[in-house]
Amino acid sequence: MSMTIEEMIKKQQEYFAAGKTYELAQRIQALNRLEQGILNCEQELYAALKKDLGKSRAESYMCEVGLMLSELRFVKKHVRKWSREKRVPTPLAQFHARSFTVQEPYGVVLVMSPWNYPVLLTLEPLIGALAAGNCCVLKPSAYSPATSAVMKKMIADVFPEEYVTVIEGGREENQNLLSQKFDYIFFTGGVQVGKMVMEKAAANLTPVTLELGGKSPCIIDKSANLKMTAKRLAFGKYLNCGQTCVAPDYVLVHEAVKEEFLKLLKSEIRAMYGEDPLKNPDYGKMINRKHFDRVLGLMKEEKLILGGENDTESLRIAPAVMDQVTEDDAVMQEEIFGPLLPILTVGSMEEAIAFVNRRPKPLALYLFTENRETEKNVLEYTSFGGGCINDTIIHLATSQWDLAASETVEWALIMERKVLRPSAMRKAS
């Protein structure tokens, strides 16, 4: 008979208290076991991602399995260094004393992950938890059941459940988990649920990391390389059918280059997905009917200049572009999280900066420009979580920032902006 959630957490607390996760050698062994488990289940993960989200094998490797394995190997390489005592200066008045800090795990960690990248966003926080010496409860989204089932089987084959376990289910299980006392909660998902997680955690003074969403702008300056801009924007926006938390959510394009940009954008979308994306076997789908209907409800037929064709049975929506969008349109009131791109026109970069700044701080910001002064102004006068200059999304594939910002293995968000400028590719088409 399987344990209840309460019993499971108690077992993990006892396992942690016994010191079975502390030793560095044990932590490295756990990471090695996780890596081997992933490799053993790799094909099953691809099949599950195809079933849940329609992801091609190439996309699943690039954005989930491969990216996560890269992170795992990066952590294995550096965990010894991260685990060392850190010498700190000692005041002269305390001469002969030695001051240092010691890294220690939190204890039993809860990871609540979303459905849009269910492998990456479940197992990547687990990597950090294991590297630091924690026990972990994983709670994947009920919206991606095939992937959750594979991960549950994989984790059960690799770890005893008092060390790491997967809890499947929906709202009832979420509520039950959040009513328990954990030592740390790592949540990835929407703002509304994030608020509930923080409220529940506050009752036990549990530290949390909340990786939430928002409307991420893409600013296109009149100096931008427009062909490159169109190609990289189309990739970042329509990856995973727009179901990416850092996907460009709307475009602010300078009026001087808008028409040329739109022509190139249409051309790049057709080049990537074909004349009929709904027949492209490598193009994904919306996660469920609820989100399918929600995205269609944001479209205004009179402002649609490309795409929007859809199939209820397959839950597919062709990459869509809306022009002449205003700040008051419904599509600008919430995170889209789908393959719909609104285009807004600005007369200057100052206008674009002001537009971004009067809205909630975005999770990501993307700027396309060849003007270093424009780049400097946007970086100086806007606030955002991460982003790219002349590219989209790829800043998430860079692990080195964690070393630069902090050498602890707490897997907490670093409160610094992460901006990637692919200078070697600035002139690439």
Among the ranges given (25-34, 145-154, 332-341, 412-421), the one the predictor scored with the smallest mean pLDDT:
412-421
pLDDT tens track for 55-75: 999 999 999 999 999 999 999
Rg over CA atoms, the chain? 23
State yes or no: is 245 an active-site residue.
Answer: yes
- The domain made up of 5-211 has a fold known as Aldehyde Dehydrogenase; Chain A, domain 1 (3.40.605)
Q: At the fourth CATH level, which superfamily is domain 216-425?
A: Aldehyde Dehydrogenase; Chain A, domain 2 (3.40.309.10)
**Mean pLDDT on 237-257:** 96
More confident call, 124 vs 405 = 124
pLDDT tens track for 91-101: 988 888 888 88
Integer Cα distance of 285 and 84 in angstroms: 46
Give the tokens for residue 237.
């926006």
Confidence of residue 401 (pLDDT cuts 50, 70, 90): low
Burial state string for 3-16 with b = 16 or more CB within 10 A and e = fewer than 16:
eebeebbebbbebb
pLDDT at position 101: 87
Residue pair 4/27 in contact by the 8 Å Cβ criterion: no
pLDDT tens track for 346-374: 999 999 999 999 999 999 999 999 999 99
The active-site residue, picked from 211, 334, 335, 351, is 211
pLDDT tens track for 265-298: 999 999 999 999 999 999 999 999 999 999 999 9
**Beta-strand relationship, 316-317 and 364-368:** unpaired
Instruction: Calculate the average pLDDT of the chain.
Output: 91
Instruction: Determine the Cα angle at 290 with ends 171 and 316, to 5°.
Output: 130
Confidence of residue 409 (pLDDT cuts 50, 70, 90): very low
Q: What is the DSSP letter of 133?
A: T
pLDDT at position 419: 52
pLDDT tens track for 220-229: 999 999 999 9
**Mean pLDDT on 70-90:** 91
**C-alpha distances out from residue 341 to 117, 127, 226, 238, 314, Å:** 20, 34, 17, 9, 21
Domain ranges of the chain: 5-211, 216-425
The active-site residue, picked from 162, 245, 375, 388, is 245
Scanning 169-312, the segments in alpha helix (DSSP H) are 171-178, 191-203, 226-238, 258-273, 289-298
pTM of the model: 0.89
